[in-house]
Structure 1
Amino acid sequence: MPKKLSGGGLSPTQQAAKFLGVSVLAGAVMAGIALPAAGALGLAAKGSVQGFDEIPDNLKSPALSQRTTILDNQGGQIATVYSRDRTVVDLKSISPYMQKAIVAIEDSRFYQHGAVDLKGILRAVNQNAQNGGVAQGASTLTQQLVKNYFVEEAGDDPTKVAQATQQTLGRKIRELKYAIQLEEKLGKKKILENYLNITFFGEQAYGVEAAAQRYFSKPAKDLNLQQSALLAGIVQSPSRYDPVNDEAEAIKRRNTVLQRMAEVHDISPQEADAAQNAKLDLKVSEPKNGCITAVKGASFFCRYVENVFLTDPVFGKTKEERAKLWNQGGLTIRTTLDPQSQKSVQDSIKSHVNKSDSVATAATLVEPGTGKIVGMGQSRPYGYGKNETEYNYSVDRDMGGSNFGFPTGSTFKPFVAAAALEQGLPPTQEYPAPYKMSYPSPVQTCGKPWTNQQNETLSNESESEDGPYPLKTAMAKSVNTYFVQMISDIGICPVVKLTDKLHVVQGNGDKLPEVPAITLGSKGIAPLTMASAYATFASRGMYCTPIAIESITQQVDGKQKSLEVPKSTCTRAMSEKTADTVNTLLSGVIDSGTGQQAGLSDRANAGKTGTTDERRNAWFVGYTPNLAGAVWVGSPKQNVKMTNINIGGVYHSLVYGGEVPGPIWKDAMTGALVGKDSPSFNMIDIPDPEPEDRDHGDDGDDHGDGGDDDHQGNTIDGNNGSNGNGGKLPTPSFSIPQGFIQGQNGTGGRHHG
């Protein structure tokens, strides 16, 4: 290989001065600038040399934006995302044919000249003068590399891109100085490597590796002669020579490159002829960019990962810093998503709810004790067409959720029970729990007591649900009036303090309001929030913040660098005894209560059903000691009442939390737990009530879950509530206000279950 011409020991400024008379003229020719007089050229040259000295000397190669790969926890690819599809490779990973082809067509004297090619400049000046216009340029590969650096730094800012590519003499002078620096600093091989990695090859492919994959579905190291010539020819005009859209023009350009390779003796005339007669033989790979292309139904989880990256300060102090790092890419993100669990979630959703149904479902699985999100899916796929959505129904609004979460119904009641147990109430606690009643008033809060100013009332699901009840039975039957009495007894403050520890907030990020109706699940909460909170029961009182990312590496200068990632923070939210008691209570919901259709037969499990006012939402949230999951079913716009409805091709006269979400949860958990350990809960002995004191009839359906936010619903007449069918009414641990047992006329909503 001939030795490159150096600057003879001259500084960059001295080299520029030596070449400036010619390079300024070449720059003018390239830019289409008319310089008719020698005097004008002299002045321009003089001014340019002075400006040249003012250009900073330290050109730094920009960090090339590359594709980011998102993986599951087993290393399987979920998706690739990028602002520019590029995979940086070293020169030895690029076909020798490709290296020769690009040099032959773009800068055949690349190895003979320095940063600027004097012969090339003079040839261009002469040719352009003969043509009376600008027919030929004279930029070397090094100068083109510098220009591409400027374009890369400009990113997607149209103003900066225009400045980086403007055809002015000033830009050419700046380009020249930096080209000289690169020649001295990098050498020819590194310049060629950088050029092949930064150049745009059309069809969203930046760099030769992405181009080889896009057009031929192979790595750049395996490109043959005619394939290399085709790619080299595209560089001059990616749109004009695009082989996907104009095969004839692409072949013509390819053959020009092959002819040039023969002329500079890179290949023989016979090799050129054979390659020129070859077909294009494209094997195009469609660009797969973004979470919309994610496999395993993981598009919404993928977007959640992206949102975590763009919002967590661990990746940058400002949103601009985080966005820059994300767009720069080159990341390999290993997530917490378990492919077995994810498949089970998607299979269960698909078998129970159709994409075209008037209601949707969302399910999320979380690992207790670690906070790892192992599964996340929903029935309406990611997209912008009919029955598709870009909103993630499993998460809060600021992480891609659609609104304020969804009212949770009776799935909120275990939080009230846990708060009461933490306050010292026994697990045998009884309350009158009549069929219907007014909200007690006043009720203590963390501040000013709540009062029932609007005379709001509530009832249980059926008249047979008429107390008194102990906690175990009330939880299994999901008795509304019991838990309203409980929260009124202990006060609302202990409940919201506990839910604060469980990070239970509304879907818009607001804290829960201090009103008794929160026990009925009247406020919207995201499934991920509920799954993480219930995982606290499974882990015996330890709450762990949910996480989606296990590790991230970034390719920088050909090396892999590990980045810091968010860690789950685990804190004690309740005592082990309280968690164990709740586990015992919620095991009863599955064994003999409203959640029997959700029960897992081969392992310890617990959970709670929930159905909200007018049956607009139905839930099942449950767990085993090693996996927790939340399933929501309803209308994202909250405009469908789930009565006389077909879901997944099955007719339902009334939808309950145990009837639709329960089986979805059961199937999702069953598949996710195949081959996993089957630990047991630490159960608490909760005595059953004396038989002679209880006669309440059948368990019935899932009862009493949250009403609308304003409790407006079916008006309940003020008929006398029953004290029970033959059961005695124990004295509660708080005074019973006027009208507590006797229902009062009001506008309160009836809370279904």
Structure 2
Amino acid sequence: MAYKGSGGAAVRQAVNFLGVSVLSGVVLAGIALPVVGAMGLGVKDTAEGFDELPGELKQPTLSQASHILDVNGGEIATVFSRDRTIVDLKDISPTMQQAIIAIEDDRFYEHGAVDLKGILRALTKNAESGEVSEGASTLTQQYVKNVFVEEAGDDAGAVAQATKQTLGRKIKELKYSIQLEEELGKKKILENYLNITFFGQQAYGVEAAAKRYFSKSAKDLNLTESALLAGVVQSPSRFDPINDEHEAKKRRNMVLQRMYEVGDISKREVEEAKKKPLGLKVSKAKNGCITAVDGAGFFCDYVREIFLSDPTFGKSKKARAKRWNEGGLTIKTTLDPKAQKSAQAAANNHVNASDPVAAAVTLVEPGTGKIRAMAQSRPYGFGKSETVINYSVDDAMGGGAGYQPGSTFKPITAAAALEKGISPAKVYPSPYEMPWPDMTNCAGETLRDPGTVPNESESEKGPYYMTEAMKMSVNTYFVSLEADTGLCDVTKMARSLGIKERASGEELGVGASFTLGVNEVSPLTMASAYAAFANRGVYCAPRAIESVRDAQGKKVRAPGPDCKRAMTEKTADTINAMLKGVVDFGTGQQAGLSDRASAGKTGTTDFRYAAWFVGYTPNMSAAVWMGDPEHKRKMIDITIGGKYYPKVYGADGPAPIWRDAVSGALEGKPDPDFVDIKLPEPEKPKSKGKPKNKEKDKEDREPDISLPGDITDGGTPGGRNKGRD
């Protein structure tokens, strides 16, 4: 029965009356309810309620799985709130279509929205048995019920209400079924039904079910496989073939028998099919970033955080969350699988998951901001020696409170000084120890800090000029340089390089010790900042997403590059030359690459809570952090990755990890050089003491010292500072 054409309204009225009349009495036997009369309701009242229902059924966007891909199109992970892949009816095997109709609604193509003949049959059987042994809902009505369930989402209360056996719900199903039969037609209803229905084992829709139980597509299901899936629908838990093979086989054979009775298969086919085993080839549900390979789970999680926080994907947090949960997205990311594999191997080779400290490695491409790798020594997960905290990113993006970067901050002060016109030949006395100079912040306030700042040892004293001070990481030089440059200009340079706040989301603490790296930041932030040096002064905000397409393959707007000039090319080229000297002759020699130009800076904090190496080539920037994420374990007298360290420094802990990660990531790729410039000699002759041990990195010998400007109070002078190199 179809309701199309000019007579549709009249037919609809007749069906309304007949359908409600039946629902008012005999049909309720099929849902174990007393007749309407016993409830004090009449047909007239029910029919009026029927007419008052909204005229249109709002069909929800079905939640599907989304696929997160690397830059080459390889799958990083599949994520879903409901594992579903919508397919056209032509992509569902004919035997699957026949099986579901045979067992659920064998007169589907013959009746309209309500099967009166089926109702009477169900009523008779239920009356004979004295219980509800057979229902009378059509596939269309079942589809409508599933729409209500889909709209309820994961709200248990809403799901219970949507499936509650009430007269009101049955009447709603009836009216909306009439509407859908008119609007969609039988084949579209069958397609929708097979895509929305739950098949157990986290599989929604027949395509996901075929993948789950038989590791194949729905279009390739054979007779026995189709019968099994059709049988599961009635009770996914009772007829679960994975957990109860006996019950599942009984139900499958019942479906096969019904297919024979309605003429879909021959007697020989049904007899042979019933003898066959279930033939399961189960593929476990792989949902979420925990399934990502090569340690890419943290990057995968970062992609999710980007999607949920970026207004490009929705005006409100609620809108973005709804879009993510609906899924069906194909998200192509910036992750380079070769770089990721190299970064993860480097972390694992130097730091064990069970070690008392951890390491994080982040690689960013200069000029684009594209994140090419994000790895750490502790795997993504909830087990022992695992974590879901992404040590590479800020707290708001799934990370922690960050880590003080120590002397890796000094090049930022140098860049601000060069931009102000201070020459790299500038010489300061740089004594072993000096009082903190007065500083003026951007609000014009003069900051006077008590105490002194020392260098490594009394034998190490200036004068020094900028190039040499950078190579040897001289504290007193950079504090003097900061004072002359102006604290405001140094903080502005930091912000122009993406260091706008602490990793915790709090404001930067601004004080005299700012240049010594006292503000907690993330490896991603530092890798992106240094990428601006490699990119000759242009900073690009980090990017994780290349493109997004929806379930129909339509391109979804995604955030594009966000690049701006932070310093002149001359300033960047000068910093590159200085930091190249750090790697070639200074504290970062263990990070040097044998086959390509590289530059970088080590950093170590007070009490060895953290050690860093941040460096770059012209085509790759990377930051490596090592330490205790909880800031409790000092890296003194410690074994990491099977190697004993009296003390851990940026030069001997993170630097080798950086070298291995970057060399593997760039293997076979172009090896451009930095712009060759000659750094000026010091402004005047100088004399200084010789280091006690020329073979040992200067940074690696610096003692723990007390510095002012404890950043826990937002930069108020005074207190113990734990963020020096």
The normalised TM-score by structure 1 is 0.91
Matched, 1:483 2:478: yes
Matched, 1:408 2:401: no
Match for residue 727 of structure 1? none
Query: In structure 1, how many angstroms separate the alpha carbons of the residues matched to 2:27 and 2:629?
Result: 60
Structure 1 window deviating more from structure 2 (516-525 vs 685-694): it is 685-694
Identical columns (%): 59
Instruction: Call closer, same or farther: CA 1:332–1:27 in 2, change over 3 Å.
Output: farther
C-alpha deviation, 1:61, in angstroms? 2.4
Q: Secondary structure at the match of 2:25?
A: helix
Matched, 1:605 2:598: yes
C-alpha deviation, 1:660, in angstroms? 1.2
Match for residue 715 of structure 2? none
Counterpart selection for 1:296 from 294, 297, 304: 294
One-letter amino acid of the counterpart of residue 509, structure 2: P
One-letter amino acid of the counterpart of residue 417, structure 2: A
Matches within 5 A, 1:132-151: 132-151=130-149
C-alpha deviation, 1:511, in angstroms? 3.1
Structure 1 window deviating more from structure 2 (160-169 vs 234-243): it is 160-169
Match for residue 268 of structure 1? 266
Structure 1 window deviating more from structure 2 (150-159 vs 611-620): it is 150-159
Counterpart selection for 1:89 from 87, 90, 104: 87
Matched, 1:65 2:63: yes
Match for residue 541 of structure 1? 537
Instruction: Call closer, same or farther: CA 1:747–1:201 in 2, change over 3 Å.
Output: closer
Query: In structure 1, how many angstroms separate the alpha carbons of the residues matched to 2:703 and 2:140?
Result: 70
Verify the 8 A CA contact 1:705 1:751 in the aligned structure 2: no
Q: Secondary structure at the match of 1:406?
A: coil
Counterpart selection for 2:464 from 464, 469, 481: 469
One-letter amino acid of the counterpart of residue 643, structure 1: I
Query: In structure 2, how many angstroms separate the alpha carbons of the residues matched to 1:639 and 1:646?
Result: 16
Counterpart selection for 2:508 from 496, 512, 537: 512
Matches within 5 A, 1:109-258: 109-258=107-256
Match for residue 28 of structure 2? 28
One-letter amino acid of the counterpart of residue 30, structure 1: G
Q: Secondary structure at the match of 2:554?
A: strand
Give RMSD over aligned pairs. Answer: 2.1
C-alpha deviation, 1:19, in angstroms? 2.7
Verify the 8 A CA contact 2:210 2:217 in the aligned structure 1: yes
Counterpart selection for 1:425 from 398, 411, 422: 422
C-alpha deviation, 1:352, in angstroms? 0.8
Tell me the alpha carbon deviations over residues 401-420 of structure 1, each in whole angstroms, 9 at most, x when there is no partner.
12x20000100000000011
Structure 1 window deviating more from structure 2 (163-172 vs 507-516): it is 507-516
C-alpha deviation, 1:577, in angstroms? 1.0
Query: In structure 2, how many angstroms separate the alpha carbons of the residues matched to 1:254 and 1:388?
Result: 42
Verify the 8 A CA contact 2:3 2:181 in the aligned structure 1: no
Query: In structure 1, how many angstroms separate the alpha carbons of the residues matched to 2:343 and 2:284?
Result: 28
The normalised TM-score by structure 2 is 0.95
C-alpha deviation, 1:214, in angstroms? 0.6
C-alpha deviation, 1:449, in angstroms? 3.2
C-alpha deviation, 1:695, in angstroms? 4.5
Query: In structure 2, how many angstroms separate the alpha carbons of the residues matched to 1:60 and 1:705?
Result: 69
Match for residue 550 of structure 2? 554
Verify the 8 A CA contact 1:459 1:750 in the aligned structure 2: no
Verify the 8 A CA contact 1:410 1:705 in the aligned structure 2: no
Match for residue 445 of structure 2? 449
Instruction: Call closer, same or farther: CA 1:101–1:747 in 2, change over 3 Å.
Output: closer
Matches within 5 A, 1:546-695: 546-555=542-551, 559-689=552-682, 693-695=686-688
One-letter amino acid of the counterpart of residue 494, structure 1: D
One-letter amino acid of the counterpart of residue 483, structure 1: F
One-letter amino acid of the counterpart of residue 257, structure 2: Q
Query: In structure 2, how many angstroms separate the alpha carbons of the residues matched to 1:624 and 1:433?
Result: 30
Instruction: Call closer, same or farther: CA 1:299–1:708 in 2, change over 3 Å.
Output: farther
One-letter amino acid of the counterpart of residue 275, structure 1: A
C-alpha deviation, 1:169, in angstroms? 0.8
One-letter amino acid of the counterpart of residue 17, structure 1: F
One-letter amino acid of the counterpart of residue 359, structure 2: T
One-letter amino acid of the counterpart of residue 286, structure 1: K
Instruction: Call closer, same or farther: CA 1:712–1:702 in 2, change over 3 Å.
Output: farther
Query: In structure 1, how many angstroms separate the alpha carbons of the residues matched to 2:137 and 2:416?
Result: 74
Alignment gaps of 5+ in structure 1: 714-745
Query: In structure 2, how many angstroms separate the alpha carbons of the residues matched to 1:456 and 1:30?
Result: 86
C-alpha deviation, 1:438, in angstroms? 2.1
C-alpha deviation, 1:516, in angstroms? 1.2
Q: Secondary structure at the match of 1:543?
A: strand
One-letter amino acid of the counterpart of residue 411, structure 1: T
Query: In structure 1, how many angstroms separate the alpha carbons of the residues matched to 2:497 and 2:703?
Result: 21
Verify the 8 A CA contact 2:431 2:463 in the aligned structure 1: yes
Verify the 8 A CA contact 1:607 1:621 in the aligned structure 2: yes
Q: Secondary structure at the match of 2:515?
A: helix
Counterpart selection for 1:500 from 491, 495, 498: 495
Tell me the alpha carbon deviations over residues 674-693 of structure 1, each in whole angstroms, 9 at most, x when there is no partner.
12111121233112348963
Query: In structure 1, how many angstroms separate the alpha carbons of the residues matched to 2:709 and 2:456?
Result: 15
Query: In structure 1, how many angstroms separate the alpha carbons of the residues matched to 2:140 and 2:112?
Result: 9
Verify the 8 A CA contact 2:363 2:623 in the aligned structure 1: yes
Match for residue 75 of structure 1? 73
Q: Secondary structure at the match of 2:312?
A: helix
Query: In structure 1, how many angstroms separate the alpha carbons of the residues matched to 2:597 and 2:548?
Result: 35
One-letter amino acid of the counterpart of residue 682, structure 1: V
Q: Secondary structure at the match of 1:508?
A: coil
Alignment gaps of 5+ in structure 2: 712-717
Query: In structure 2, how many angstroms separate the alpha carbons of the residues matched to 1:409 and 1:696?
Result: 24
Query: In structure 1, how many angstroms separate the alpha carbons of the residues matched to 2:212 and 2:133?
Result: 31
Structure 1 window deviating more from structure 2 (392-401 vs 491-500): it is 491-500
C-alpha deviation, 1:34, in angstroms? 1.0
Q: Secondary structure at the match of 2:315?
A: coil
Match for residue 352 of structure 1? 350
Instruction: Call closer, same or farther: CA 1:420–1:409 in 2, change over 3 Å.
Output: same
C-alpha deviation, 1:114, in angstroms? 0.8
Match for residue 52 of structure 2? 54
Counterpart selection for 2:377 from 376, 379, 395: 379
Tell me the alpha carbon deviations over residues 570-628 of structure 1, each in whole angstroms, 9 at most, x when there is no partner.
11111111111111111110011000110112112110000010111100000111110
Match for residue 334 of structure 1? 332
Verify the 8 A CA contact 1:234 1:250 in the aligned structure 2: yes
Tell me the alpha carbon deviations over residues 365-396 of structure 1, each in whole angstroms, 9 at most, x when there is no partner.
00111110010010011111211111000000
One-letter amino acid of the counterpart of residue 676, structure 2: M
Query: In structure 2, how many angstroms separate the alpha carbons of the residues matched to 1:275 and 1:96?
Result: 16
Query: In structure 1, how many angstroms separate the alpha carbons of the residues matched to 2:326 and 2:528?
Result: 32
Verify the 8 A CA contact 2:3 2:11 in the aligned structure 1: no
Counterpart selection for 1:438 from 422, 435, 440: 435
Verify the 8 A CA contact 1:105 1:261 in the aligned structure 2: yes
C-alpha deviation, 1:462, in angstroms? 2.6
One-letter amino acid of the counterpart of residue 594, structure 1: T
Match for residue 525 of structure 1? 521
C-alpha deviation, 1:346, in angstroms? 0.6
Match for residue 16 of structure 1? 16
Q: Secondary structure at the match of 1:383?
A: coil
One-letter amino acid of the counterpart of residue 601, structure 2: K
Query: In structure 2, how many angstroms separate the alpha carbons of the residues matched to 1:64 and 1:95?
Result: 21
C-alpha deviation, 1:20, in angstroms? 2.2
Query: In structure 2, how many angstroms separate the alpha carbons of the residues matched to 1:752 and 1:511?
Result: 19
Q: Secondary structure at the match of 2:546?
A: strand
Matches within 5 A, 1:302-341: 302-341=300-339
Instruction: Call closer, same or farther: CA 1:11–1:36 in 2, change over 3 Å.
Output: closer
